[in-house]
């Protein structure tokens, strides 16, 4: 087990999922619910988000192969998309502000929208798990380790949602916004590193 790779993947998945940024979203869309119902919403949101990300872990490579997209091209495109996603986290409306507003427009099932998608299983998270489980770069055991890392992030996210009330009272929405922007900076660095690595592999390797 390569701990450096595991830690890097944990940081990448943590940043794109942004569990701290999901706390004020969860509070906002469950503010009128009883405690038991709020816990049920948290469990359902995590279950749906995990299922979506597992789908991309399993089927993402198949989609790439079906479209005959090279790994290097996908990694560069993925890095650019993640970088743009990071810029929206840094300079745009914070994640809590955007997703709370979206949730206000759709009250049918807050566990699905905006909690599971796009707050937890964000487009950046879907893209990240595809890149991190590419069949051409990682063995099956390594992909299994990445999947376990993703599940671990989901488990931590669930714990944070269940403790959302006390956490938000401490950091407040402004604190969650700051954390989201810091995560954006980290994600931008990870994205740039991925693009440079892919370019090096394509034009300068061996």
- SS3 of 38-52: the string is HHHHHHHHHHHHHHH
Q: What distance, in Å, lies between the first and last C-alpha atoms of the chain?
A: 26
pLDDT value for 52: 94
Place of tokens 């300079």: 91
pLDDT value for 94: 58
Cβ atoms of residues 46 and 154 within 8 Å: yes
Tokens coding 11 = 């940081």
User: Average pLDDT by consecutive 10-residue portion of the chain (206 residues)?
Assistant: 87 88 78 85 96 92 77 75 77 62 61 84 83 85 94 96 84 75 76 81 68
Q: pTM of this prediction?
A: 0.73
pLDDT value for 53: 96
* 24, 25, 35, 150 from 100: Cα distances, Å: 8, 5, 19, 24
Cβ atoms of residues 89 and 187 within 8 Å: yes
């Amino acid at each position: 087990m390569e701990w450096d790779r595991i830690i890097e993947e944990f940081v990448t998945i943590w940043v794109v999922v942004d569990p701290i940024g999901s706390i004020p979203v969860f509070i906002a869309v469950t503010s009128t619910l009883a405690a038991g119902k709020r816990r049920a919403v948290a469990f359902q949101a995590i279950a749906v988000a995990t299922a979506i990300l597992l789908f991309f872990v399993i089927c993402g490579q198949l989609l790439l192969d079906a479209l005959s997209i090279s790994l290097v091209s996908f990694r560069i495109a993925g890095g650019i998309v993640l970088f743009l996603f990071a810029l929206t986290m840094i300079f745009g409306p914070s994640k809590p502000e955007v997703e709370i507003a979206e949730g206000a427009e759709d009250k049918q099932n807050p566990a699905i929208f905006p909690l599971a998608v796009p707050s937890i299983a964000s487009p950046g998270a879907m893209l990240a798990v595809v890149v991190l489980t590419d069949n051409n770069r990682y063995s099956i055991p390594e992909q299994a380790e990445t999947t376990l890392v993703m599940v671990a992030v989901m488990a931590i996210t669930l714990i944070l949602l269940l403790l959302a009330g006390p956490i938000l009272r401490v950091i407040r929405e402004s604190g969650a916004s700051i954390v989201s922007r810091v995560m954006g900076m980290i994600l931008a660095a990870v994205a740039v590193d991925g693009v440079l690595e892919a370019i090096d592999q394509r034009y300068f390797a061996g």
